[in-house]
Amino acid sequence: MGRNRYKIYEPTHPHFITCTVLNWIPIFTNQESVNIIIDSLKYLQKSDNLTIHAYVILENHLHLIAKSNDITQSMARFKAHTARTSL
Domains and CATH numbers, the chain: 15-84 (3.30.70.1290)
Q: How far apart are CA 87 and CA 72, in angstroms?
A: 26
Task: Please check the confidence at residue 1 and state whether its pLDDT lies above 60.
Answer: no
Alpha-carbon distance values, 45 to 9, 29, 52, 83 (Å): 22, 24, 8, 18
Q: What is the pLDDT of residues 12-63, one digit of tens each?
A: 789 999 999 989 999 999 999 999 999 999 999 999 999 999 999 999 999 9
Phi, psi dihedral angles at 80 (to 5 degrees): -65, -45
CA dihedral sign of residues 51, 54, 57, 61? negative
* pTM greater than the 0.85 cutoff: no
pLDDT of residue 12: 79
Q: Which of 65, 57, 72 is nearest to 5 (CA)?
A: 72
